[in-house]
Amino acid sequence: MVVYKVEIRNHIGLHAHPSYLLAEEAEKFKSDIQIRYGEKLADAKKSICILALGVNSGESIEVLVSGEDEEEAAEGMLEVFRHMGNA
């Protein structure tokens, strides 16, 4: 399992467009990808689940990746966060 923290620094947080981009990337992999925000856990392959977390700018999340392609999946997700200005 790969686990890492990300601080959300873009000005809109994890709202519609960022949530869509993350889910689109997560769908490329076989691994289970979850996003944890406080006590909430969301399936990263479903943008509506990410959106429902209600993550605002300046808050931190954890990304949990497990499965046969977890290293590649973790890097792919991290690249999306980098593109959004978070890492």
Specify burial of residue 42 (Cβ count, 10 A radius: 0-12, 13-18, 19+). Answer: buried
Whether the predicted pLDDT of 51 surpasses 80: yes
3-state class of 46 per DSSP?
coil
Task: Report the predicted TM-score, pTM, of the whole model to 2 decimal places.
Answer: 0.93
15 classed as catalytic: yes
Domains and their CATH numbers in the chain: 2-83 (3.30.1340.10)
- Choosing from 11, 15, 17, 83, the catalytic residue is 15
Question: Is-contact 60 4, C-beta < 8 A?
Answer: no
Task: Please give the pLDDT value at position 86.
Answer: 60
Mean pLDDT of 47-60: 96
Crossing angle of helices 16-26 and 70-83, in 10° steps, is 160
Classify residue 30 by its DSSP letter: S
Q: What is the mean pLDDT of the chain?
A: 95
